[in-house]
């Protein structure tokens, strides 16, 4: 996968890269704070891509991911790029930029639950234990394929509904990416919720950028920008110094948690072709 990325970057034409393009990024939930790191990674790629390009954020407050992908597919100009979790179906419909945007950190999940339920959930140690609870997850999230393939029971709804549902006890815990959860728990409406200690779920997964197949020019610009940023070490430096990532790694202390590894569904095995060096691994697992 990454060899393909490098090869594509080498075939860029000067005219394509020097043309100034406007990237209209659809923003799930409209949440700039939660996705601050992902947005910064895209800005970094455009900074290293030849040409003077602009990134415009398009908040999509209430649209589920499936609706956003339809907007991207329709190509009417409201958005022309969107990042989301990988799925084979999305790869078949769109051009994917083959860079895991958080170095796979998105595949490390912490469980959030009401404070009064934390003690009971803290006994979880295995996949079999997880199979005995109900976990909240979003409509159209590819994560669901991983969780269900490992025998987990899900309660599925729109993202905005999942937080109040969790508080009302409609399910036991909500799985959140380590780089998302601390910002989410700072929100006043999520007071009374806490992270289940000592454990983390892990599966090979990440956000990837997708563009409409008719906009291969945008795909080439992003591919070239990421390739240049990686080759010059900027991508790794950005990962290790970005405030959101630093907070996630410092506060989650993944190397001190019991890591519950989930099996990769057959349809997602292509992610295993991306070299291990491009995926984050806590010290305890190196």
DSSP string, 163-193: HHHHHTTSSSEEEEEHHHHHHHHTSGGGTTE
Q: Cα–Cα distances in Å, from 149 out to 29, 146, 158, 169, 172? A: 27, 5, 21, 24, 19
| pLDDT of residue 251 exceeding 60 | yes
Q: Are strands 134-138 and 153-157 parallel, antiparallel or unpaired?
A: parallel
DSSP-based three-state secondary structure for 234: helix
Q: Are residues 228 and 151 in the same domain?
A: no
Average pLDDT over residues 178-205: 95
Q: Are residues 73 and 6 in the same domain?
A: yes
Residues 47, 174 contacting (CB under 8 angstroms): no
Q: Are strands 258-261 and 95-97 parallel, antiparallel or unpaired?
A: unpaired
Going by pLDDT thresholds of 50, 70 and 90, the confidence category of residue 286 is very low
Q: Are residues 152 and 28 in the same domain?
A: no
pLDDT in tens, 130-146: 999 999 999 989 899 99
Domain annotation covers residue 192: yes
Range of 185's domain?
Answer: 105-202
Going by pLDDT thresholds of 50, 70 and 90, the confidence category of residue 166 is very high
Q: Are residues 119 and 174 in the same domain?
A: yes
Task: Give pTM, 2 decimals.
Answer: 0.81
Domain annotation covers residue 276: no
Domain annotation covers residue 247: no
Mean pLDDT for the chain overall? 91
Give the residue from 185, 202, 219 where a domain finishes.
Answer: 202
Domain annotation covers residue 24: yes
pLDDT in tens, 80-113: 999 999 999 999 999 999 999 999 999 999 999 9
The number of domains in the chain is 2
127 Cβ contact partners less than 8 Å away, ≥ 6 residues apart: 150, 151, 152, 260, 262
Q: Are residues 39 and 110 in the same domain?
A: no
Q: Are residues 93 and 116 in the same domain?
A: no
- Phi/psi at 24 (5° precision): -105, 100
Average pLDDT over residues 188-208: 96
| pLDDT of residue 194 exceeding 90 | yes
CATH (domain of 63): 3.40.190.10
Give the residue from 146, 180, 202 where a domain finishes.
Answer: 202
Going by pLDDT thresholds of 50, 70 and 90, the confidence category of residue 4 is low
139-142 contacts: CB < 8 A, separation 24 or more?
A: 139/64, 139/65, 139/66, 140/64, 140/65, 140/66, 141/65, 141/85, 142/84, 142/85, 142/86, 142/87, 142/90, 142/205, 142/268
Q: Are residues 111 and 70 in the same domain?
A: no
CA distance 100 to 277: 11
């Amino acid at each position: 996968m990454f060899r393909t990325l490098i090869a594509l970057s080498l075939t860029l034409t000067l005219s394509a890269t020097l043309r100034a393009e406007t990237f209209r990024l659809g923003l799930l939930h409209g949440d700039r704070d939660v996705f601050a790191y992902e947005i910064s990674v895209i800005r970094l790629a455009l900074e290293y891509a030849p040409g003077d390009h602009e990134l415009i954020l398009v908040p999509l407050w209430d649209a589920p991911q499936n609706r956003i992908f339809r907007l991207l597919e329709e190509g009417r100009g409201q958005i022309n790029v969107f990042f989301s979790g990988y799925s084979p179906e999305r790869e078949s419909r769109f051009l994917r930029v083959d860079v895991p945007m958080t170095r796979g950190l998105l595949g490390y999940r912490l469980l959030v639950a009401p404070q009064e339920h934390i003690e009971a959930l803290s006994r979880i140690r295995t996949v079999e234990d997880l199979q005995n609870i109900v976990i909240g997850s979003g409509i159209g999230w590819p994560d669901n394929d991983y969780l269900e393939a490992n025998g987990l029971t899900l309660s599925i709804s729109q993202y905005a509904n999942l937080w109040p549902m969790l508080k009302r006890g409609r399910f036991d815990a909500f799985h959140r990416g380590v780089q998302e959860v601390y910002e989410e728990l700072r929100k006043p409406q999520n007071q009374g919720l806490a992270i289940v200690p000592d454990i983390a779920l892990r599966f090979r997964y990440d956000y990837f950028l997708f563009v409409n197949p008719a906009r291969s020019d945008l795909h080439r610009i992003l591919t070239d920008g990421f390739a240049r940023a990686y080759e010059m070490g900027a991508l790794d430096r950005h990962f290790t110094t970005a405030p959101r990532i630093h907070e996630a790694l410092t506060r989650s202390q993944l190397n001190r948690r019991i890591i519950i590894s989930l099996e990769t569904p057959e349809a997602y095995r292509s992610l295993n072709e991306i070299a291990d060096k491009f995926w984050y691994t806590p010290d305890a697992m190196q």
